[in-house]
A and B are shown apart, each in its own frame.
Chain A
Amino acid sequence: MPFDLASIVFYFIAIVLVGASLAVVLMRNIVHAALALALVFGAAAGVYVLLNAEFIAIVQILIYAGAVTVLVLFSIMLTQGAATRAGSPFSGQWWLAGLICVILCAGVIYAAASSQMALTTAGGSVNLASAPAQDGGSPVKIGQLLYSPFNYSYVLPFEIASVLLLVAIVGAIVIAREE
């Protein structure tokens, strides 16, 4: 079945994602670019829902589309007068950057298309949202993986991440406060 619903939804989201990413990079007005960035985050959440990762999708919307977008908009506002309206928003060597990115993109796509693992193990299909959810879905499993003190779990990285967030909060306040 070449045109099932999951494929149509995937291609729609993919077009929105690539288009909004291009808008973020190419738009001259940086506020418009930040709004396109919010669209990128929302469409990425759609990809996660399509991949049966509901918890990641909710976290994506809360943290990226909510917090990071507001943070970026605030910093654009606070650095308002510095927006480089005069002249190009790109540096003089943008063609070199474009060349590097085209080569990188072609290389990654070639590697993904010819990889033995991608062809044999997973070349068939991804567990898309149309597939039935297994025992409780991803949030239950992720909770067990993150917090369970009995099984092999990710409790220690989780605690280290909390320390990292605390350090980042204190560091951001110290760096950005008024003298």
Chain B
Amino acid sequence: MVNLNSFLILSAVMFAIGLFGALSKRNAVAILMSIEIMLNAVNITMVAFASAFIGKSDAAGVAVGSRLTGQIFAIFIITVAAAEAAVALAIIIGIYRRISTVDVGHINLMKW
């Protein structure tokens, strides 16, 4: 039986996999791809909550699901993620032009 917890557990597993990639990969593009996995996991959580609360009421009798707030949040997360991907990949390309590597262990210009 599929309920809200199934989606939450799926999203948690995906988020953990993406976090592992973001923390442990050496290629900057691979780190960005892992971050996209984490953003997708969060989006699944948002949409699952929006779907779970459709037609439900809270303790005060106010309909909590009529506004689809979770789906609106998912749209804004997708927007910000697209902007973030464009800027981050531009930064990676700029770094590659300057120092000819995308290995985050070797990008230490601001480290002292």
Contacts and interface: CB of A to CB of B under 8 A. Distances in A.
Q: A and B from one assembly? A: yes
A88 B92 CA distance: 20
Interface in B45-77: 47-56, 67-68, 71-72, 74-76
Contacts of B19: 97, 100-101, 104
Contacts of A134: 54-55
A175 B90 contact: yes
Contacts, number: 253
28 contacts: A7-B2, A10-B6, A17-B10, A25-B20, A25-B25, A30-B30, A40-B40, A41-B40, A44-B43, A53-B51, A53-B74, A55-B71, A60-B43, A75-B92, A82-B96, A82-B101, A82-B102, A84-B103, A89-B25, A104-B16, A121-B53, A122-B4, A123-B5, A125-B2, A142-B75, A146-B72, A165-B79, A168-B82
B4 A34 contact: no
Contacts of A169: 86
Interface in A27-48: 30, 33-34, 37, 40-41, 44, 47-48
B48 A126 contact: yes
A81 B103 CA distance: 11
Given A21-B17, A84-B27, A142-B71, A79 B87 contact: no
Interface residues of B, number: 75
B12 A108 contact: yes
B91 to A, nearest CB: 6
Contacts of B90: 171-173, 175-176
